[in-house]
Amino acid sequence: MSDLASQRPTRIRVDLDALAENLRGIRRHTGKPVMGIVKANAYGHGLVPVARHLEAQGIDQLGVAFVEEGIALRRAGVRAPILVMGGVYGKQLQDFVTHDLEITVSSVDKLRLAEAAAEAAGRQAVVHLKIDTGMERVGVHSYSCQGLIDAAFASRGCVVKGVYSHLACADDPAHPMTAQQTARFAEACAHVERACARSGAPMPIRHLANSGGVLHFPDTWLDMVRPGIALYGALPDPASNDPIGLKPVLALTSRVVYFKVVRAGATVSYGATWTAGTDTRVITIPIGYGDGWPRALSSKGEVLVRGLRKPIVGRVCMDQFMVDLGPEGTAYNEDEVVLIGAQDGESIRVEAVAERAGTIPYEILTGLNERIPRGYVGG
């Protein structure tokens, strides 16, 4: 980070102790090894610092979406096992093997590509078989997975370390689809067990539970759990329960850069969509949708100023937005403004920001981009 960037009044603060506490809570709650999901810049928290801290906490495995995320971790010296969960392209497979990244194999074709890459590198490829139990994304259907399973266990180029599937509706503790997916996954695992018995290979790790599974569905915990958002202390859905007591890891703050009195009848920001009903005090905050602060919060979001909730008024601009303090409100230039986090006993959670923006916490967190400097505390 350049000196100038580090002077930017807008900052993300990542609490590594809260991250470690959430990991401990997930381990205590499930009693299972954990694959920490750090894709998408560790859900906006910073890929390398988060992965390093999880590794220091003895995380069993890391999961990313893309091979380049795995390579970035290896280049940063992260040694923990890393599974790349996204679909793979043939020409990338050499990089998987070279960087010791575990491959998601979702068809016999992809298995053959992995074998070829392993042979070219003179070593075995470590693979996890991906079973589709209802998500209809990447994965071989559970009802037709036997051919892939048999081929994988007959392969000399690949070692099958894991078998997994992804839950589509576990965010909602009452959704019936999770039980259906769990049953389908159990059928696929029965094929795997038979293939292991025939080949003498050890049973691979079965993993199914994302954060929703961790929070709501013990039957999905199996041999390893695979949480993302829960590690960062956010709930996947407003309907989710939190039996763990997760702690928010990320805070987003800025500072007042301008203060003015807006006269009754004047409009604020682009499109003149908000009109002051009385003379009122309005502050400008230097962060906008160019940083990933959603434009959907225009005249909808709230921030904390001097420990009080104050509304965002008018459209969020690319680099700035305005807040109405009210006719009697006070704030000075350079006062702290909290967008996500706590101030003087009040707090705004990312779940609330997401709800007001009409989206999910995942999108808010992963949207906060590299323009915002990140600082790390704890650890």
Ligand X SMILES: Cc1ncc(COP(=O)(O)O)c(C=O)c1O
Position 226 contacts ligand X (CB under 6 A): yes
Binding segment for ligand X (CB under 6 A), chosen from 8-16, 225-233, 280-288, 345-353, is 225-233
Closest residue to ligand X in the complex (CB)? 228
Position 149 contacts ligand X (CB under 6 A): no
The least CB distance from residue 31 to ligand X, in Å, is 18
Binding segment for ligand X (CB under 6 A), chosen from 68-76, 227-235, 274-282, 325-333, is 227-235
The least CB distance from residue 29 to ligand X, in Å, is 14
The least CB distance from residue 270 to ligand X, in Å, is 34
Binding segment for ligand X (CB under 6 A), chosen from 228-236, 265-273, 303-311, 363-371, is 228-236
The least CB distance from residue 96 to ligand X, in Å, is 17
Binding segment for ligand X (CB under 6 A), chosen from 47-55, 92-100, 226-234, 275-283, is 226-234
Q: Which of 64, 71, 78, 85 is close enough to bind ligand X by CB under 6 A?
A: 85
Position 46 contacts ligand X (CB under 6 A): no
The least CB distance from residue 228 to ligand X, in Å, is 3
Between 142 and 280, CB nearer to ligand X:
142
Between 73 and 338, CB nearer to ligand X:
73
Q: Which string of x and - marks every residue 231-260 that binds ligand X (by CB under 6 A)? A: -----x------------------------
Between 62 and 282, CB nearer to ligand X:
62
Between 161 and 281, CB nearer to ligand X:
161
Position 30 contacts ligand X (CB under 6 A): no
The least CB distance from residue 130 to ligand X, in Å, is 8
Q: Which of 39, 110, 161, 310 is catalytic?
A: 39
Report d(CA 59, CA 35) in Å as an integer.
7
Q: What is the CA radius of gyration of the chain?
A: 24
Q: Which of 89, 143, 258, 270 is catalytic?
A: 270
Please report, as residue ranges, which positions from 195 to 224 form the binding site for ligand X (by CB under 6 A). 210-212
Q: Which of 36, 139, 157, 228 is close enough to bind ligand X by CB under 6 A?
A: 228
Cβ–Cβ under 8 Å, residues 322 and 352? no
Report d(CA 287, CA 252) in Å as an integer.
10
Cβ–Cβ under 8 Å, residues 200 and 267? no
Between 40 and 262, CB nearer to ligand X:
40
Cβ-Cβ contacts under 8 Å for 352 (sequence gap 6 or more): none
Active site residue 270: yes
SS3 of the chain: CCHHHHCCCCEEEEEHHHHHHHHHHHHHHHCCCEEEECHHHHHCCCHHHHHHHHHHCCCCEEEECCHHHHHHHHHCCCCCCEEECCCCCHHHHHHHHHCCCEEEECCHHHHHHHHHHHHHHCCCEEEEEEEECCCCCCCEEHHHCHHHHHHHHHCCCEEEEEEECCCCCCCCCCCCHHHHHHHHHHHHHHHHHHHHHHHCCCCCEEEEECHHHHHHCHHHCCCEECCCHHHHCCCCCCCCCCCCCCCCCEEEEEECCEEEEECCCCEECHHHCEECCCCEEEEEECCCHHHCCCHHHCCCCEEEECCEEEEEECCCCCCCEEEEEECCCCCCCCCEEEEEEEECCEEECHHHHHHHHCCCHHHHHHHCCCCCCEEEECC
Rule CB under 6 A: which residues touch ligand X? Answer: 37, 85, 166, 210-212, 226-230, 236
Instruction: List, by residue number, the catalytic residues.
Output: 39, 270
